[in-house]
Amino acid sequence: MNFTQGCLLRIFIGESDKHGGMSLYEWIVEQARERGLAGATAVRGIAGFGAHHRIHTAKVLRLSLDLPIVIEIADLEANVRLFLDHIEPALHDGLATIEPIEFASFTKTRTQ
């Protein structure tokens, strides 16, 4: 398998964050798909805090309606940086990180 040098973008936001009437995490994943990035996944956290240092948790007695969301996007560094520039105006509270990775894309067709 051949690996390519790229980077991983992680965006940390809240579940209740919105953009254009839809969930921000859904919008970001859709934007990544429309722009042809290699892949994007949004994951809901069970606990966390952000810039305002308020704990958000999924505990039953303290059910949060704003759980942490992490969106991971992998692609070539140039593509990731252009994408981050594109979505940056929609990001109001949160954090983004970029780290170098090696990745391999693979698609297998199903035989029936």
- Checking if the pLDDT of 88 tops 90, the result is yes
Instruction: Tell me the percentage of the chain whose pLDDT exceeds 70.
Output: 88
pLDDT tens for each residue of 18-65: 999 999 999 999 999 999 999 999 999 887 777 777 776 766 555 556
| pLDDT on residue 93 | 86
Rounded to whole angstroms, how far apart are CA atoms 78 and 82?
6
This prediction's pTM: 0.84
Percent of the chain with pLDDT over 90: 66
Contacts of 12 (CB under 8 A, 6+ apart): 48, 50, 68, 69, 70, 94, 95, 96, 97
How far is Cα 4 from Cα 45, in angstroms, rounded to an integer? 29
pLDDT of res. 101: 96
Q: Which domains, ranges and CATH numbers included, belong to the chain?
A: 4-103 (3.30.70.120)
Q: Is 90 exposed, middle or buried (0-12, 13-18, 19+ CB in 10 A)?
A: middle
pLDDT averaged over every residue in the chain = 88
Looking at the chain, list the stretches that DSSP marks H as alpha helix, in order from N- to C-terminal side.
24-34, 77-87
pLDDT tens by residue, 54-75: 776 766 555 556 789 999 999 9
pLDDT for 100 equals 97
